[in-house]
Amino acid sequence: MIDLASDDINSADSLKRPLPFSKLEILIAWRYLRAKRREGGVSTIAWYSFLGVMLGVATLIVVQAVMVGFKEEFTDRIIGANPHVIVQMKKKMGASESFDTEKAEFIQEILKERKTLSAIYPIIAGQVMAAKNGRYSGLQVIGIKRSDLGRIELISLPEKKMGSLDEFGEGIAIGWGVARDLDLKIGDSLRLISPDGLKTLFGTTPRVSDFKVSYIFSVGRYDIDKFRLYMPLEEAQNFFNKKDKIDQINVLVPDPHSVSQVKMELQRNLGFKYTIWTWKDISGAFLAALDVERRVMFIILSLVVLIAALNIVSGLVMLVKNKGKDIGILRTMGLEQNSIMRIFILCGSFIGILGSISGVILGVSFAYYLPELQYFIEEILGKEIWNPELRFLTEVPVRVRFSDVLYVSVVALMLSIFVTIIPARNAAGLDPVEALRHE
């Protein structure tokens, strides 16, 4: 039984309750949680419940941080290495037509009238086969002017690079993955083969040309680093047999997340002879799928916290059974049923609160050091545990947001408090006469 003097129970300070819980109720609840098993306490079960809530909250925070990191990293890579808006001719016979030079310049002049656009530049786009020392790889080629290439943030300021972008006019720029797969270095020659070559009486002859590698970049996204190649615009026009032609006009905007409004205004200015795409049209479905996956993972992993909260219920049921005599004495000394109920709600809430706080600390710390932990494990195992070919990013992306941490904490606390209501009501409804009859 708890060792509390009757003076403490009957004192005005102890029973005065300006807050939801009085000082006396908090004292008794804390004493019950600290009680040893032989004293009728449930400290062992309380510890298990505490660990369950802590690990559940930490897991939720880490998973949410990784899922949010996935979306934000993909979005940053898409925005930083690709155009925000694309203007093309309407498709005819299943394929997009190219602009002639005069038409492309006319459209660029119309777009330049909008002062809110950051950059407007034409490109040539195509697919080629690259060959070097008996190795082959299919690549995406983008023909672009040197000045325009410097405006693409992740190409001009990549995670790592070799060579200089100033030498781009004298050669080509390739992704880090291309250089690794074909064993290329700055100054090496790369052979490109295009199936759309010269048309002769005997059919189409593939076009083959050699280009010097002058710049190697890495933006940290697998599909860009492994398959992208930039070529000077005029050389791309000659190589793809598109003299005085432009495949599309790319547009960069100051706020890439507002491209939907920009698209509507451009469509109204240019008319419906042109097709206008935004980065959201191209990648929006994929990013939306990541959002759905994040929400589903949150719901599933919330069950971990719920299971830990149910351990609190089992502990409280045992505590009520062991403390029947204490409840009877407290009732005879003047404590109301509501006070008894609040005491046992506090017992469970203490576990939930402490478990949630510890889980937040553990989860945020683990998420913060997760990339370093990835490299550490890979060094020990001697192999990659994060396959960039499947996930398109070279490392585990982590973004800890205050809103996510707060949401997880609130859910854990609400579950921990909600499950204590029924055992607490049972304790409050215990008849003091029955509780003391056999004592």
- Which H, E and C letters describe 224-241, residue by residue? HHHHEEEEEHHHHHHHCC
Give the contacts of 198 (CB within 8 A, at least 6 positions apart).
204, 205, 207, 241
Read off φ and ψ for residue 282, nearest 5 degrees.
-80, -45
- Count the Cβ atoms, other than its own, within 10 Å of residue 303: 10
pLDDT at 349: 82
Strand partners, 126: 141
The Cα–Cα gap between 299 and 292 comes to 11
Strand partners, 140: 127, 228
Distances (CA, A) of 355 to 75, 363, 366, 370, 418: 34, 12, 16, 21, 15
Confidence band, pLDDT 50/70/90 cuts, at residue 5: very low
pLDDT digits (tens, 9 = 90+) for 375-393: 777 778 777 666 665 455 6
- Averaged pLDDT, 400-426: 85
The Cα–Cα gap between 251 and 248 comes to 10
pLDDT digits (tens, 9 = 90+) for 206-248: 788 999 999 999 887 778 888 999 999 999 988 888 888 889 9
Say if CB 191 and CB 205 are below 8 A apart. no
Say if CB 85 and CB 262 are below 8 A apart. yes
- Count the Cβ atoms, other than its own, within 10 Å of residue 426: 15
- Averaged pLDDT, 188-217: 82
Q: Would you state the structure tokens that stand for residue 141, as one six-digit string? A: 């080629």
Lowest mean pLDDT among 16-20, 135-139, 161-165: 16-20
Q: Would you state the structure tokens that stand for residue 410, as one six-digit string? A: 């609130």
The Cα–Cα gap between 358 and 361 comes to 5
Residue 153 burial by Cβ neighbours in a 10 Å radius (0-12, 13-18, 19+): middle
- Which H, E and C letters describe 14-54, residue by residue? HHCCCCCCCHHHHHHHHHHHHCCHHHCCCHHHHHHHHHHHH
pLDDT at 391: 55
The Cα–Cα gap between 70 and 293 comes to 11
Three-state DSSP at 197 gives: strand
Give the contacts of 43 (CB within 8 A, at least 6 positions apart).
33, 34, 35, 36, 37
- Averaged pLDDT, 419-432: 77
Confidence band, pLDDT 50/70/90 cuts, at residue 37: low
pLDDT digits (tens, 9 = 90+) for 52-70: 889 889 989 998 888 888 8
What is the rounded end-to-end Cα distance, in angstroms, of the chain? 12
Can you give the pTM of this predicted structure? Answer: 0.72
The Cα–Cα gap between 323 and 432 comes to 11
- Count the Cβ atoms, other than its own, within 10 Å of residue 308: 27
Confidence band, pLDDT 50/70/90 cuts, at residue 35: low
